[in-house]
Amino acid sequence: MKRRSFLTKAGLGAAGLTAATLAAPAIAQDVRKWRLVSAWPRNLPGPGVAAQMLADRITALSGGRIEVELFAAGEIVPGPGVFDAVAEGTAEIYHAVPAYWGSKSKGILLFGSQPLGLTAIEQHGWMLQGGGQALYDEMYGRFGLKPFLCGNSGPQWAGWFRNEITSLDDLKGLKYRTTGLNSEVMSKLGVAVEAMSGPAMFQALQSGALDAGEFIGPWSDSALGLYQVATNYYGPGPGEPSSAEECAINLDVWNDLPDDLKQAVAAAAESLYNPVLAEYNTKHALALRELVSQHGVTLREWPEEITIAMGNAMGEVIGELRASEDELVRRITESFLEYRKLMVEYAPWADNGQMNMRGLDYNYGDA
């Protein structure tokens, strides 16, 4: 994949489509035609690929009774406009991340990623077993949307830095691209947070308008060429232990579906969560090898001092969410905290314990 193609496509404005293109979806011979508007450049490794997978999966599992056509960012609406486009009926479904919709409600941000919060598997567990999906439905229902999680990028990285970071003082005034609740946390540490797309982040790092930024992880970041403009790559990223991808359907369109098609759409979204996560994990690992061996990227460990400060800052953010005037935001926050506490108790005996044992010094036959 070439970085230039992503920058070109991401820079497109809303295309001048004909009125016929934007007309109400046709239902001929029981076939519904859906427009899926994406927040990503077409086929961007990671989320752009996952958006196409979703379009194809809904079409297949509906037996062709819903034909989904993907429109990348800028082809009908700009990437940041997909939430409103579907809510208003300009398109039937979108693919993006909850981290982009904090201006709608801070409660939405907890469904995507939480600094020092849930892993990808835990996030899915909260939705399916911890009451998260009902709260997710209630929040998005306010905006005329029916949401599903449909993937996860796994652990994200702290990002690309032009200069080395060794202490909290190095963050003061740093111009840094990030999204979601991590923006709130980093702002509390004195960082000048910037919100922009991944392709725009490349240009800003190149020009010096940014000092640093995080996008996703090695696979997607490599496609954008971020290693060309900032060679210090910091991980892990405590700001996003995982980052869920979502789709949301216009609620009137959803309610108009017969029950079997509702089940097909739900199954399409839910069945992609683990395959998307598996692809990210595998291709992140392969891309990281290449970044180090072929592109001279320096891997650096995120300082523990900063992680602790981020945890304390997230505690302040949690306090603000708990004090929200919006009763639903308060309920979402308490549900998230309850599930996180359960996982914090369990993980040392499960995933954390297994990782610690795997890291011990023994001959496994692969040296």
29 CB burial (10 A radius; 0-12, 13-18, 19+): exposed
Q: Is 29 annotated as ligand-binding?
A: no
Identify how many contiguous H helices and E strands the chain contains and give both numbers: 14, 12
| Residue 260 CB coordination number (10 Å) | 10
300 assigned to a ligand binding site: no
Residues 6 or more apart whose CB falls under 8 angstroms from that of 360 comprise none
202 labelled binding-site residue: no
Contacts of 167 (CB under 8 A, 6+ apart): 303, 305, 306
Tokens of 115: 């600094």
Report the C-alpha gap between 258 and 261 in whole angstroms: 6
CA separation for the pair 228, 44 (Å, rounded): 18
d(CA 101, CA 197): 14
22 and 85 in contact (C-beta within 8 Å)? no
DSSP code per residue over 155-215: SPP-EEESS---SGGGGTT-EEE--HHHHHHHHHTT-EEE---HHHHHHHHHHTS-SEE--
Token pair of 2 as six digits: 């070439």
Cα 199 to Cα 10: distance, rounded to the nearest angstrom: 7
Any binding-site annotation on 240? yes
Query: What is the residue whose two structure tokens read 């599930």?
Result: 339
Which residues have C-beta within 8 Å of that of residue 299, sequence separation ≥ 6? 233, 235, 288, 292
35 annotated as belonging to a binding site for a ligand: no
- Binding-site sequence positions for substrate: 156, 177, 214, 240
- Binding-site sequence positions for Na(+): 215
- Binding-site sequence positions: 156, 177, 214-215, 240
